[in-house]
Amino acid sequence: MALCLYSACLPLRQQPGNANFSYELDFINRRSSIITPSRVVMPQILPSVQAETIGSRVFVVSDLHTDYFENMMWVRYLSSNRYKKDVLIVAGDVAETCGNFVLTMSLLRESFRHVFFVPGNHDLWLRREKHNYFSSLDKLDKLLYACERLGVETKPSIVDGLGIIPLYSWYHESFDEERDITGIRIPSLEMACKDFHVCRWPDGLKNGETLALYFDCMNDKNWNTVKDIQRRCSHIVSFSHFLPRLELCPEKRMLFYPNLPKIIGSKFLETRIRSIHGDAGKQSTCHVFGHTHFCWDTILDGIRYVQAPLAYPKERKRRMNGGEDWLPFCIYADGRFAEKLSPCYWSDYYAVNPRTPNCTQLAPWVARFYAKTL
């Protein structure tokens, strides 16, 4: 796994736990015994609003990864009564296999009045499927059909006056426009990211701008509905799996895999978001995303961006903000967006420390890692 720690301002022994990104890098897994940051007691993340409210509450979560037993049990243990009037937004990476995906979404539908979904990269993996899919797009069609049968919503809609807009997306390398780290041997994207091996695309499509644009164009068929939502709704939340902005990921020098920004986001996605919420944004708009497994809550150019991942069981044990006891996160209640998700260690860090992407000096913990492993 590619891991990164919170603050470059503290010595490693004082780092507040670690916030994790989930790409299963074989070169790191083989040497995982060397990554043993200190355990630090930290305040738990604030719980979601649980009191009775007027109208529907909207909860968000991403990266459920229910192929892991512990994560599937977390879904099973969600209350079947507490959320009966509420909405759940699932920002991708539900499960790797179609069977686990269907079971997970069935359980969520039993708990929530409405469930919304967009696919992540893990949802389109083919390596463990018994069915011989022609491509990952073929599997996507099957997942969307399963959602339709289960009553899981994958198209823009209005719920109790709130506009909810799913946005399809995929990442591309040119999303990363910040200065690269040099002087160390960084594994290639193909070595670092399993998507290159366990997703399969029709002729003419491959990872890159072409694929990212293909997924972005999937949103066109729903654009008349989006325009109607813009006319009718004063509050709108959009959501995707991938990142729309580089500022929603730590700088490269902070990351154990410095090329991570090349496989996480889409410039096309941010263009879509701005066409929905406006170039200047407003307080009544929000975008939810997933993928990197970093808790995040920040406002950029007038739009609130939130990530609330369940992530992998090992990640929850290593990091201080857990996930089992505060997810799903309530982002909207009583006709307004909820208070900030806190603490979010990286977005809190950048709230007081400027982003310096032109600085390529590795953070101490990253420098030590490469000194020991490469």
pLDDT digits (tens, 9 = 90+) for 105-133: 999 999 999 999 999 999 999 999 878 89
Reported for 158-161, long-range contacts at CB under 8 A and 24+ positions apart, including other chains, are 158/229, 158/232, 158/233, 159/56, 159/58, 159/87, 159/114, 160/55, 160/56, 161/55, 161/233, 161/234, 161/235, 161/335
How many Cα atoms sit within 13 Å of 340 on the Cβ side?
12
Burial 125-144 (b: 16+ CB within 10 A, else e): bbeeeeeebebbbebbeebe
pLDDT at 280: 82
pLDDT at 136: 97
pTM of the full structure = 0.88
Whole-number Å distance between alpha carbons of 285 and 226? 14
Output 132 or 94, whichever has higher pLDDT: 94
For the segment 149-169, what is each residue's pLDDT rounded down to a tens digit? 999 999 999 999 999 999 999
| Of 220, 108, 203, nearest in space to 155 by CA | 220
Whole-number Å distance between alpha carbons of 23 and 284? 33
pLDDT at 52: 61
How many Cα atoms sit within 13 Å of 234 on the Cβ side?
4
Mean pLDDT of the chain: 86
Q: Angle, to 10 degrees, between the axis of helix 267-277 and the axis of helix 209-217?
A: 30
pLDDT at 374: 54
pLDDT at 38: 35
pLDDT at 360: 93
* Contact criterion met (CB below 8 Å) for 331 and 288: yes
Please, which pLDDT band fits residue 178 given cuts at 50, 70 and 90? Answer: very high
Q: What does the pLDDT average to over 285-290? A: 97
| pLDDT over 60 (residue 198) | yes
* Contact criterion met (CB below 8 Å) for 153 and 117: yes
Whole-number Å distance between alpha carbons of 338 and 207? 36
| Residue 60 backbone phi and psi in degrees, to 5 | -130, 150
Please, which pLDDT band fits residue 204 given cuts at 50, 70 and 90? Answer: confident
Whole-number Å distance between alpha carbons of 246 and 262? 10
Output 366 or 15, whichever has higher pLDDT: 366
- Other Cβ atoms less than 10 A from the Cβ of 53: the count is 15
